[in-house]
Chains A and B, each alone.
Chain A
């Protein structure tokens, strides 16, 4: 069993849709949770960073962490074609420690 599971998709939605991306994990030591966006032929770009459980909002993006269920989510409101990319969840047991990534979900937002 992988430490972090993420549905690889691909996921295709119309412009303006609400997108929900999810990851589950098995290691209860994870404390720091991140979402990265990766465009083709580019490195991952940090979108959201959350410590422990709770919600965090930044513009059209909302990250949720439920440590009791070992489940994290990223919601994208009013999705745009420019949001088309691969989204990676990542987590760590310590600040600045190694990141364990999910497989990535490929998202396509159609105009």
Chain B
């Protein structure tokens, strides 16, 4: 059973640029969530996708957008990057309706905006 894989592992971008982060869900999982974790903080919910539709969104501006594909993989896109967007971006997958609601997290993409 494979876990959640994210790419790239590290990324450096310039303020104002756009970035796309990718996530492959754990085998059998149909729900994907994205979280932003600033240094020394707990992860913050960005949004969740289920059956290729956004299924909940946190307090993030519209320049944060996402996609989920038929194979349940997902992308997080961030436009007009700001310095405060520097963080670890985590993808988490789960199976909707499962008895246990815990998520499986990937190792994250560390984004640095300069």
Contacts and interface: CB of A to CB of B under 8 A. Distances in A.
Given A32-B101, A46-B102, A88-B43, 19 more contacts: A6-B42, A8-B40, A41-B107, A43-B92, A43-B106, A43-B108, A44-B90, A46-B103, A46-B104, A49-B101, A92-B101, A95-B98, A95-B101, A96-B96, A96-B101, A98-B33, A99-B103, A103-B40, A103-B41
Interface of A: 4, 6, 8, 32, 34, 36, 41-46, 49, 88, 90, 92, 95-104
Q: Name the interface size band of chain B.
A: 20 to 34
Interface of B: 4, 31, 33, 35, 40-45, 48, 56, 58, 90, 92, 94, 96-98, 100-108
B78 to A, nearest CB: 19
A44 B43 contact: yes
B57 to A, nearest CB: 9
